[in-house]
């Protein structure tokens, strides 16, 4: 029984992180929360275009869409973080900043 418990603990300890795409605040389309992975959007994706929004792509998560907008308008803030091996955001075109605050 002890060996089984130790094996279970080791399996949990070394389990790889799950790929995630997490959005908060002003992200269109979508709602705040964990998005499907991979997240394929056939239209534009805006992060912080009418307010403040974030998108985190982690641990091999993947997002693809036609056009990406990050904080495109005055007074808005958009933050996008893509981190971890295999993580990617693949917009066909990417527009960052415009007349606003942004961090990519």
CA distance 103 to 63: 18
Residue 2 lies in a domain: no
Given CA atoms 81, 85, 90, 93 in this order, what sign does their dihedral have? positive
Domain membership flag for residue 11: no
Which among 94, 103, 99 has a CA at the least distance from the CA of 46?
94
Q: How many domains are contained in the chain?
A: 1
Nearest to 61 by CA among 97, 98, 35: 35
9 part of a folded domain: no
Summarize pLDDT for 2-59 with one digit per residue, the tens: 554 444 444 445 555 788 999 999 999 977 889 988 999 999 999 998 899 999 999 9
Answering whether pTM is above 0.75, one says yes
The answer to whether position 98 is within a domain reads yes
CA 55 to chain centroid: 4
Range of the domain at 26: 17-103
Cα gap 100→91, rounded to integer Å:
20
């Amino acid at each position: 029984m002890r060996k089984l418990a130790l094996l279970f603990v080791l399996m949990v300890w070394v389990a790889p992180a799950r790929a995630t795409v997490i959005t908060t605040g002003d992200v269109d389309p979508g709602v705040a929360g964990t998005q499907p992975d991979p997240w394929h959007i056939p239209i534009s994706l805006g992060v912080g275009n009418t307010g403040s929004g974030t998108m985190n792509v982690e641990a091999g998560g993947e997002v693809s869409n036609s056009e990406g907008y990050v904080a495109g308008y005055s007074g808005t803030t958009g933050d996008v973080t893509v981190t971890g091996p295999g993580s990617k955001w693949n917009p066909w075109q990417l527009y960052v900043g415009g007349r606003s605050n942004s961090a990519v």
